[in-house]
A and B are shown apart, each in its own frame.
Chain A
């Protein structure tokens, strides 16, 4: 079946360093891949998405890379800040009216001052 998984359950970085969070997926039929950030006590917050026919997409301080050959994507956060501390999830989406997210387990990012 379909699955989306993150490589590491926890990641600890120093403030100001770059963070890289990795994710693997199994189903090549997904239309989009999405990264979410979930802070304690809040709902998942959309960060950035990438269409399945793209390799790279950049946002504000974040970059997502998609390697379809090995079914791997990553989220890079530049100059990590304390406010970036959260659980990060990758998800695979089949588009259309029956949008369905295949949701992976999260990586908890801790930013050390």
Chain B
């Protein structure tokens, strides 16, 4: 079983649309993250939640809004999608002294 699962894996959508990416973890860990990986493979943190509470909110447009309905889920909602939002988005969990990543969601905005 995958510890961190994301859906959808691939998403192609038009500019201006609103979309969500869902993330679920089955290990019961308190800390969850969203990372964005650009075309040059650079990975940057967007948000961090600990026990459903927002801990880290990097400089991210407010079109991006994380939602944590419970400890096992951290969803990412994106409003008014722009071309520059095209990237791979990774959900991750903090466990021990490291961070484990999901398989990623490939978002393409056309």
Interface SS, A side: strand
On chain A, the number of residues with a Cβ less than 8 Å from chain B's Cβ atoms is 25
Determine if A1 is an interface residue (Cβ-Cβ < 8 Å): no
Interface SS, B side: strand
- In the bound assembly, the distance between CA atoms of A36 and B103 in angstroms comes to 13
Q: Are A42 and B103 interface neighbours, CB within 8 A?
A: yes
Q: Given contacts A42-B104, A44-B90, is CB(A97)–CB(B41) below 8 Å?
A: no
Determine if A8 is an interface residue (Cβ-Cβ < 8 Å): no
Q: Are A32 and B97 interface neighbours, CB within 8 A?
A: yes
Q: Are A99 and B94 interface neighbours, CB within 8 A?
A: yes
Known: A43-B101, A93-B97, A105-B41; 8 extra A-B contacts, CB below 8 A, are A34-B99, A36-B101, A43-B90, A43-B103, A46-B100, A97-B30, A103-B45, A106-B41
Chain B positions within 8 Å of A, measured between CB atoms, are 4, 30-31, 40-45, 48, 50, 55-56, 90, 94, 97-104
